Amino acid sequence: MSKINILVIADHPEILETIIRLINQNEEWNGIGAGSLEEAVASLELNKFDLVLLGVGVDAQTEERILNLCNVKHPAIPCHRHYGGGSGLLYSEIRYALAGG
């Protein structure tokens, strides 16, 4: 069975590292991080993702550009904001997003 690929975009390196580590603790998920709009765009062009998570600290302009990119070029990939709050909330957000929420 292939893993669910999740792109996490966050501009705080420590937060991004923590989110990726938590995602990768689940054997069914593969988290890949992007610390900037440019990295996120490159990752979306090079990889197949099942979900995009916008982390805390992503500015409104970057969020809008990512959402537009996903809506136009990758409409099958849901984009959701991660609000922080620990692994329990993160896992719930991911499950909710993957279920079509």
**Tens digits of per-residue pLDDT, 39-98?**
999 999 999 999 999 987 788 898 899 999 888 998 999 999 887 777 788 999 999 999
Mean pLDDT of 24-38: 95
pLDDT score of 81: 86
CATH class of the structural domain 4-98: alpha beta
pLDDT score of 26: 94
pLDDT score of 56: 72
pLDDT score of 34: 95
- 3-state SS class at 4: strand
Nearest to 8 by CA among 69, 45, 70, 56: 56
> What's the CA angle centered on 24, arms 20 and 25, to 5 degrees?
120
Structural domain spans, the chain: 4-98
Cα–Cα distance, 93 to 30 (Å, whole number): 15
Cα–Cα distance, 50 to 15 (Å, whole number): 21
Neighbours of 85 (CB within 10 A): 11
Residue 49: partners with Cβ closer than 8 Å, 6 or more residues away: 5, 6, 7, 32, 43, 74, 77
pLDDT score of 25: 95
* Maximum average pLDDT range among 4-8, 14-18, 52-56, 77-81: 4-8
pLDDT score of 88: 84
Q: Angle, nearest 10°, between helix axes 37-46 and 60-73?
A: 20
Q: What predicted TM-score, i.e. pTM, was given to this entire model?
A: 0.91
